[in-house]
Amino acid sequence: MSFAEYIDLFDDNILFLLEQHVILFAIALAAAIVLGVTLGTLVHRFRGLGMLIVPIVNVLQACPEIVLLALSIPFLGIGISGALIPLFVKGVLPILRNTASGFASIDPRMIEAARGMGMSPLQVLFRVEVPAVLPIVIAGVRISAVMLVSVITLTAYIGVDSLGTMILQGISRMDMPPLLIGAGLTALLAVTVNYLLFGLERLASRRVA
Amino acid sequence: MSLYDFITSRWTDIVAVSWWHLRLSLMAVGLALGIGLPLGVLCHLNRIAAAAVLNTVSMIYTVPTLALFGLMIPLLGIGVVPAIVAVVLYSLLPVVQNTYTGLANLDPNLCEVAIGMGMGRWTRLFRVELPLALPVIFAGLRIAVVNAIGMVTLASLIAAGGLGDLIFRGISIMSWNLVLAGSVPVLVMALGADFLLKLAEQRLGRNREVATP
Amino acid sequence: MALQVEFRDVTKAFPGSPPAVDRLSLTVPAGSILALVGPSGCGKTTTMKMINRLIEPTSGEIMLGDQRVTDMPVKELRRMIGYVIQYVGLFPHMTVAENIAIVPKLLGWPKARIDERTDELLTLVGLSAQTHRSRYPRSLSGGQQQRVGVARALAADPPVLLMDEPFGALDPITRVHVQDELLSIQRKVRKTIIIVTHDMDEAIRLGDKVAILRAGRMVQHEAPVDILRHPKDAFVSELLGRDRLVKLLSTVSVASALSDEPAPAGTPEIDRQATLEQAFLLMLDLGRDTLAVAGGGVLHIRDLLRVSTG
């Protein structure tokens, strides 16, 4: 089957899978940002929590996505629920790390100076700390986002519909059109997401510098 | 069958597959190092090359791994060669990027002293700059190795073998034992490599702290 | 061996700003120390870096012995000029011995000669070769690192030594100590040394001559005593500070100011090698205007006045 024929026949399927991929991505990323920023802030504020969480984060970071996926099957089964752990872990970690290290990188003298000028704690947070941390957090979000696009393709193995479904289909049947369309679209999606967030990162850091 | 019986009956098989998995990963990273290190040095020496090379390798790194394996098929077919090529491509970024940043962030005073003492460009590169950048380059290597061990799992999809064989067969026939027999060695190798290389990295770093009077 | 360094009408202009060094002519005789001093941005570092061609002059020429530096192959030139900077610049991944051996290795010396030279230099700068040879820079104190820096610069017996704020990072006590050591090393090796500093006291202590620069121009170039005695303008006296005459006394020894007369009986004694500053303080301390000089001669407070007014 040629590309044109394939697209003609399956265009609604391609669009459906792309849509699924994007929706899953958006939900996962939103959840990752909320959780990652919260946990990162907590880790920074409470040293003890950091000592508990940081080693776990380091181990999970080194853990391959596909292994996380495989190991969560007996607990969560297959389908969308089985995809939750790898999506959660791989999405949250970079944001958590960057939030914590972003806060840690703020010069304490700057905060002292802000307090000395009579800013309230809330003012210090929003006018000094947040602008300084923002570019670093966005860099974490970018890493998470690119990773999530990739992890979502892998969840096709346990029956979650996404562009990965087409890639797998293509590989198992040695069928080039779905393979290339699936791979091409995911690659394009990842590159676009990376590019957009990189722009945002630069915008945020320009305000600080 | 209990997990214990399963493991003991398949022990030699699991070890052999793990060994093959490790060899594939290390071969790919070795190649990536051979290509990436000179590229990183090139980026350091030439600004135009830096922009081109760094953008290209980070673009490749952005492509989801599964898609990268998929894109290999029309180019190189299936088997060990396309699998290694995909892993090499993916491993280039940490190697090139870390070589480049390691060299770019050296203490400018040390570089000036090297020039002032009459070292030529290459002497300076090999005797001062690369040795000093080694811990950072090594950190890139560590990331590449850990990534590669994870990524080679997917290589089983294009018939290159490795522990992915066990995991994917396990998922499709719903054999938890098989999934574990594949996943645990991957996990152990990835975490072990991460730990050992981090340790080596710290030892390297200790002798390179810039001495300040 | 030492070589004379000579600047002939040297100018360095960076695009878009006034010349960093403006028509500088200056001779540093072989075997002497020149201190280049002035506020930051006065062109002193630029001046120094033109000697080993880390910076190329816009016009004029610089002579090393009877050769123009621009006629010499740049690597060869640099290998015959020792170079010490403020941050010491010891390579942290090399041992003390490896650091010292860099230039001899570049010059292709045989290993035995390098080893011998390393030990000789460590002894020269006052470090035990056995205990320090194979240590890494980070395990040395600031003063020790600085000495290794000097040893490294002297490794291939260069005729010229350039030092850029060499003691700037040391605490005041260590600094004076290392300065004294540099002077005692210089008495043995007799190199042509050009030292850049923003610290006037350091310039006066170390320089046989001091050249004061301001905005790329040389304001005054004389022996420390003469500069202290007759600062050329308000800028120089400001750099010297209010206690310039006390500093002047500190640069002159008792031996060079005494009168050849017998001392009255019961006069307190002072060493010939002491400085006039020490003699002056002793006079204030004891409430006497006359001191007997050990080994013959007498020092009267009039002698101090004579020295300070030239």
Residue B189's pLDDT band (boundaries 50, 70, 90)?
Answer: very high
Give dist(CA C162, CA C178) in Å, integer: 16
Beta strands C59-64 and C5-12 are: antiparallel
Question: Which 3 state secondary structure label does DSSP give B1?
Answer: coil
Q: Is C55 on the interface with B (CB under 8 A)?
A: no
CA trace torsion B150, B155, B161, B162 (10° rounding): 0
Q: Is C75 on the interface with B (CB under 8 A)?
A: yes
Give the one of B149, B153, B158 whose C-beta lies nearest to A171's C-beta.
B158
Give the one of C78, C145, C170 whose C-beta lies nearest to B117's C-beta.
C78
Which amino acid would we find at residue C237? Answer: S
Looking at residue B213, its pLDDT comes to 45
DSSP label at residue C43: S
The beta strands (E) that lie in chain A are given as none
| pLDDT greater than 90 at residue B32 | yes
ipTM (interface pTM)? 0.83
Residue C274: how many other CB atoms lie within 10 Å:
18
| Probe site for chain B from C84, C87, C160 (most B CB atoms < 10 A) | C87
Interchain contact C/A (3 or more Cβ pairs less than 8 Å): no
The distance of A14 to chain B (nearest Cα, Å) reads 15
pLDDT tens-place string over residues B68-102? 988 888 889 888 999 999 999 999 999 999 999 99
Give dist(CA B111, CA B108) in Å, integer: 5
Q: Between chain A and chain B, how many beta carbons pairs sit less than 8 Å apart?
A: 109
**β-sheet bridge partners, residue B145:** none
Chain-chain contact of B191 with A63 (C-beta, under 8 angstroms)? yes
Q: Is C142 on the interface with B (CB under 8 A)?
A: yes
Residues C35, C167: contact at Cβ < 8 Å? no
The distance of A17 to chain B (nearest Cα, Å) reads 15
Sheet holding C269-270, edge to edge: C269-270, C290-293, C298-300
Residues C3, C30: contact at Cβ < 8 Å? yes
| Probe site for chain A from B57, B63, B87 (most A CB atoms < 10 A) | B63
* B-contacting chains (≥3 CB pairs under 8 Å): A, C
Give dist(CA C7, CA C19) in Å, integer: 16
Phi-psi map region of B77: left, alpha, beta (phi>0 left; psi -120 to 50 alpha): left
Give dist(CA C175, CA C198) in Å, integer: 14
Residue B9's pLDDT band (boundaries 50, 70, 90)?
Answer: confident
| Probe site for chain C from B110, B115, B117 (most C CB atoms < 10 A) | B117
DSSP label at residue A128: I
Which amino acid would we find at residue B49? Answer: A
pLDDT tens-place string over residues C167-197? 887 888 888 888 988 999 999 889 999 999 9
Looking at residue B40, its pLDDT comes to 95
Residues C220, C212: contact at Cβ < 8 Å? yes
Q: Is B178 on the interface with A (CB under 8 A)?
A: no
Q: Is C159 on the interface with B (CB under 8 A)?
A: no
Interface of B with A in 73-102 (CB under 8 A): 73-74
Looking at residue C88, its pLDDT comes to 66
Looking at residue A52, its pLDDT comes to 85
The distance of A149 to chain B (nearest Cα, Å) reads 7
What string of pLDDT tens digits covers the 310 residues of chain C? 789 999 999 999 988 888 899 999 999 999 999 999 999 889 999 999 999 999 999 999 999 999 999 999 998 899 889 988 876 678 888 999 999 999 999 889 999 999 999 999 999 888 998 899 999 988 888 888 888 998 999 998 899 999 998 888 788 888 888 898 899 999 988 999 999 998 898 999 999 999 999 999 999 999 998 898 889 999 998 888 888 888 888 888 888 888 888 878 888 888 888 888 888 888 989 888 888 888 888 888 888 888 877 6
Q: If you average pLDDT over residues B27-45, what whole number do you get? A: 95
The distance of B134 to chain A (nearest Cα, Å) reads 22
Residues 6+ apart with CB under 8 A from C111: none
Q: How far from each other are the two terminal CA atoms of chain A, in whole angstroms?
A: 55
Q: Which two tokens stand for residue B17?
A: 């597959």
Interface of B with C in 117-156 (CB under 8 A): 117-120, 123, 127-128, 131-132, 134
Looking at residue C292, its pLDDT comes to 87
Give dist(CA B108, CA B120) in Å, integer: 16
What string of pLDDT tens digits covers the 209 residues of chain A? 777 888 887 888 888 899 888 998 999 999 999 999 999 988 888 888 888 888 888 888 888 888 888 888 878 777 777 777 788 888 899 999 999 989 888 888 888 888 888 788 888 888 888 888 888 999 999 999 999 999 899 888 888 888 888 998 888 888 888 888 888 899 999 999 999 999 998 888 876 54
| Probe site for chain B from C102, C103, C173, C194 (most B CB atoms < 10 A) | C102
- Rounded alpha-carbon distances, angstroms, from residue C31 to C19, C191, C194: 30, 4, 10
Give dist(CA B58, CA B96) in Å, integer: 10
C145: chain B residues, CB-CB within 8 Å: 211, 213
Chain-chain contact of B194 with A182 (C-beta, under 8 angstroms)? no
Residues C92, C138: contact at Cβ < 8 Å? yes
Share of chain B above pLDDT 70, in %: 96
Share of chain C above pLDDT 70, in %: 99
Burial group, residue A206, by CB count within 10 angstroms (0-12, 13-18, 19+): exposed
Chain-chain contact of B66 with A167 (C-beta, under 8 angstroms)? yes
Looking at residue C265, its pLDDT comes to 80
Residue-averaged pLDDT of chain B: 89
Looking at residue B209, its pLDDT comes to 63
